[in-house]
Each structure stands twice: as structure tokens, then as C-alpha cells.
Amino acid sequence: MSNPLLQDWAGPHGLPPFADIAPAHFQPAFDAALAAHRAEIDAIATQAEPPSFANTLAAFDASGRLLTRLEHLFYTLAASATSPELQAQQRALAAPLAEHGSAVYMHQGLFARVDALFEQRERLGLTSEQRRLLERVHLDFLRAGARLAPEARARYAAVMARLAELNTRFAQNVLASESDYQLRLTTEDELAGLPGFVRAAARQAAVDRGLGELDGGGVHVITLSRSLIVPFLSFSARRDLREQAWRAWVGRGDATGGTDNREICREILELRAEQARLHGHACYADYALEDTMARSQGAVMGLLERVWHPAVSAQAREREAVQGAMAAAGATHALEPWDWRFFAEQARRARFELDEAEVKPYFALDRMVAAMFDCAGRLFGLRFKARPDIAGYHADVRAYEVCDADGALRGLFMQDNFARPTKRSGAWMNALRNQSRALGATPVILNNNNFARGAAGEPTLLSFDDVRTLFHEFGHGLHGLLSSVEYERLAGTQVLRDFVELPSQLYEHWMAEPQVLKQFARHWQTDAPLPDALLAKLQAARQFGQGYETLRYTASAIVDMAAHALPAAPADVVAFERDTLAKWQLPAEVGMNHRLTHFQHLFSSAGYAAGYYVYLWAEVLDCDAFDAFVEAGNVFDPAVAARLRDCILSAGNSVEPGEAFRAFRGRDPVVEPMLKDRGLLPA
């Protein structure tokens, strides 16, 4: 029986035959891909010719093509369209794939060639991009343990294999706890306070879970998808149900049973501490920050502290408004975390005469997708052509061919917008194929969101926060689509972690621009544009709640950094989290964006470990960068947009990020625009 994963992928734009792929195909395909890559690495390392850029660096960058395409596909399906069978494959393959990565980057023959070229880099006559590739690949080898003593290399490889297994278990536990939870609402009393758009989304969630016929078809389901749980907590008049839903949401991974992540978190932290020690660092945070713009814990904590204190003051002012709303409603109970969003919504409504139920009909998903495409066209000359004939891995996936203004193909953009039980929570961008001129590769970029699907026959309506998420992920998508580099290792979003959020967060600014909203925010039933009065209310209310949201984010970043700054894992991660928040005096009603036991940024991979601060770091960059458009007097200024494209979006990792920002802005970034944008500057 032939394996479709090992055949030529003859779909449009080189896509795999999604419909023909079964989980059982992956193990033999990976076996073949790993063997092929090992042979390629050995051939590069043992060739008779002395090392050169072409026969070592370029050859290494071009190696492992079958493995790379399999990994992109496998991790895409595991995150977006999983199944028990695929999860079993993921668990089985986690350690072997990690062991292969260690074998490649600890290959002493290959490293000797890379190291020799690195030592000669000044004399090789390299282009700036070639030198950047050499420097980055050499650092990749060092950070993977290539220079460790033999016994230490063996232990390091074992640590990485075990971490891969734990990361997989952690992510699968979070998905299981999210997928298993259903708050069923069957009576009008249980639905009290919920506006029509929340009811419609909850009704559709019931249908999607096969519960559409229960109770005469009247059942509604609240899931732990952010696009459903947050509106429920904001509008439900049933305080007992809000508490129940809130406890389920914040308690993911923190309960006995099959989805308990507490010990997994502890072991991951312990192994990361050992990983850092093997590199000669006192803690994992020091190891992780060595290859960032921030460079040190002191720089990170300095930024977090600068934001924390004004956010505390802002949240105290917001608390007064929330408690005023409670008093107006006759509530005499203490303010609890499950009360905040409900009474904050009432306070916002009273102060700004702004009702989310009045706003949301103007933000239909299809129109907001059109808005983000239009902005990309105005800024960068991109054109998007819907390709409904191109099938994805799920019926929800939509495909678009992307061309430059001159008609030249730029790549394929795919979008998967809806929450479902087989998809992990959150929102993210990934590449099914990265851009590379050397490989003749155009990018295939995927955006995933988790919006609550609208009822049958009606559009999906987004909150203002959902629209921001949509634009955010598309900013990452543009980073991948506009990449224009020679070598795959330097393409698109493969930049330093605290630089990668600059394009995504910068693109968020356009979603709130009045000229964009006036054109695309139209009532889904009447087609009437967003009224000027309502737009003015949205703008006036934009910074309300920023103290609360800033503290939630910053608390998560602080706990992340504190946990990874330890020389060894805490005995009890939940107690450590609680004690850290108490030390910083986080108000009890605020909480964190992510608790450790479901903090996928930290524990489903190492991508953001000791790095959740990067969103704030990048916000300094993005607010300052957007000011370049403001200063030009036109948020679509063509000269500024061209500079942004050339200096940052197209450059990928071919240029050091500080240098790239200075080339765009003409100077280093300043923090004041970010503080102003969040309303955290002193009055």
C-alpha cells in the first residue's frame, strides 16, 4: 500500500493530498525522512573537499526537505485537526524527532566544518545574508550542545527527548480539559443576560457537539473557547454559572485526573534548569535570554516593572467604576474574579453608553477578513484571490492566492477561523512551507483562530478584541508571505522571539483606524456603516479596562520569568505561582492571562519559555513603528510602508533585529508611545 506522504505532493501550490492522509502514514514516512536526512548530514560532514559556504552551509540549509515538509504538516494537523490516533502518533514520535534534532546539531563532523567556517568568516567574502546564516547556524549548534563534552552531550540529548515527550503530554492535556468541558444552558433563567450573539454562538456550539436535539433543540453550550467564555462572563446574569465557568477556565490542568499538568510543569522546569546548567548558566532564563534582543533578566524585569506600577493605579481606578456598577445593581457581595467582566461591562456601558451587543453586528467575520486584505493591498500592493477549489485539512479552511501588484505570485494564504473540539485553543500562525529563493520555494502560510461560529445561516460576529486577534495573526502571516531571503533558515518569522511579535502587533493598529472601520464595519443585516457616534464611543472607551488587562498579561510574564529564573524547579508549581503573585500584590479579582498548568506558550514547547514578556517588548517597537505613519500624516503612507516592507517584513532573520528597526525608524525605539497607547502615562 503506497504512502501518500512519501509521494510527490501534486496538489495546488504543492499542498499534500489531505483527504488521503491517515495518522498511520506518519510513522513510516518519518522513518524514511529521518534516514534520508541522516544520510545527507553524513555526506556533508564526510566529503573530501574542505568546508566552503556552498558545500557546508548552503548544503545544510537545503538538506532534510522531506523531513521539513512532514514536520510542518504533522504539527499543523496535531494543533488544528487532531484525533486520538494522531495524538498517539504525536506521543510516539516526540522523543525520536527530538533525538534526531540532537543528533544533527551534535554531529561532530558537521559542526567541525561549520565551526571552521565561522572562525574564517572575516576572510570568506560572504554577502551580508550569507554571513548572517553562518552566524545563526553556528549559534544553533552551540545552543544545541555541539561543544559539550561527550558525556554531557549524551545527557543533553536525553533531556531534550524527555522534554519533547512532556511538551506533547502537556498540550494534549490542555486540549482534553478544554474539549471535555461543556456548560449546558437549557432554561431561560440560565440564559439570563446573554445577548443574541452569545446565545447564537452557544447554540451553534451545542450543534457542533451533537447536542442540537437535546431538550427539544433548546440546549446552549458554553465552552472554554475564549470567544465564547469571555462574552459569557461579561453578560451572564447568573453569578453561580459565571463562577462555575470561570473556575473551569482558570482550572485547566490543575486538577487530579488524566489532565493534571502540575507534575508535568514541575518536571519540565527541572529539566530546563538542568539544560541551562549544562550550558554553564545559573538558570534557564539566562540561557533563553542569551539569544534575544533583551539579553538579560534585568532588561526584561525593568520593562515589566515600568508597566506594572501605572497599571496597578489604572486598575484601582477601574475598580472604583466596577464597584460603582455593583452598587447601582444592588450587589452587596464581595468583588470576585468571576464578577469583574460582568460589572466592568455594565460600568463601560454606563460611562460610555456603549453596549457590546450594539457593536458586534457591525463586525462580521467576512467583512473583517476583507478589511485586513484591503489594508495589506493599500500598504504593500498585495492582492488576494479566493480559491474555494483548494481543499485544506478541514472544511473550515479557506485558501487565497497572494500576488504582488505586478501579478507575480507571492504565495498561498490559508485561514482556519473557528473553534472546534479537535483544535487547540488560542490563535497562531504557522507555515506549511517557508519562502526560500535558493530552494525555489514560495511560502504557504496558515492562520488559525478560535472564533465562536455564528448560527446556521447567519454570519460569525466578532468582538473588537476578536478583530484585533484576526489582524494580529495576519500580521504574522504577512511576515511569512513577504519574506524575500535566499536561505530557508532566515525566512519569515524565524527571527528572535522578542522581535517576532513586532509585525503582528503593528498590524493591529490598522483595524482600529476610522477610515478602515467606516469602510468595512457595516451592519450585517442592514449594510449600514458603523455610525459616527458609535465609532466615537468605541474610541473613547478604548483604554477603559487597560489596567486590568495589562496586569493580567504582566502577571503571567512575571510568573514565567520567576519560574525560569530558579536554579531548580519548585516543589509545587501552584504554590509558587500563588506566592509570586502575592509578592507583587496582584489584586485578587484580576488573575492571570494564563496559569502555569495551562500556559501553552511555556510548556507545549520552549518557544516562549522565559519569553512571555516578548509581547510587551514588541509593543514598545510596534507603537513606535506606527508613529512613523502618524508622523507622515497618512497611516497608509507609501514611503513608510515601503520602508517597513524592505527593512523588516521582507528581511526575515537576514538582518540583526536592532539594525532592522533602526533602518526602518532611523533610531532606536522609545517606550513612551506604548505607555501612551495603553493609557499608562501620568495625566
Catalytically annotated residues: 473
Angstrom distance (rounded) from CA 522 to CA 518: 8
Amino acid at 550: T
Strand pairing report for 409-418 and 428-433: unpaired
Buried b (16+ CB within 10 A) or exposed e, 25-62: bbeebbebbbeebbebbeebbeeeeebebeebbbbbbe
Sign of the CA dihedral with 149 first, then 150, 154, and 155 last: negative
Per the CB < 8 A criterion, the answer to whether 521 and 638 are in contact is no
**Per DSSP, which regions of 424-578 are E strands?**
428-433, 444-451
Query: Are the beta carbons of 164 and 95 closer than 8 angstroms?
Result: yes
Backbone angles phi, psi at 74, to 5 degrees: -60, -50
Question: What does the alpha-carbon distance between residue 373 and residue 282 come to, in Å, rounded to a whole number?
Answer: 46
Q: What is the dihedral of CA 341, 345, 351, 352, to 10 degrees?
A: 130
Q: β-strand 398-403 against 409-418: which pairing, if any? A: antiparallel
Sheet of strand 398-403: strand arrangement: 383-386, 398-403, 409-418, 444-451, 428-433
For 256, the grid coordinates are 487530579
Q: Which residue has the cell 473557528?
A: 418
Give the total residue count for the chain.
683
| 364 φ/ψ angles, rounded to the nearest 5 degrees | -70, 140
Q: Would you state the cell numbers that stand for residue 365, as one nine-digit string?
A: 467575520
Closest listed residue to residue 599, CA positions, set 244, 170, 258, 263:
170
Cα atoms in the 13 Å half-sphere on the side-chain side of 202 = 28
Q: What is the dihedral of CA 57, 59, 61, 63, to 10 degrees?
A: -150
Cα–Cα nearest to 53, from 1, 148, 123: 123
Residues 589-619: b if buried by 16+ CB within 10 A, e if exposed = bbbbbbbbbbbbbbbbbbebbbbbbbbbbbb
DSSP H or E segment with residue 580: helix 573-583
Q: How many CB atoms lie within 10 A of CB 381?
A: 16
**Cβ neighbours, 10 Å, residue 421:** 16
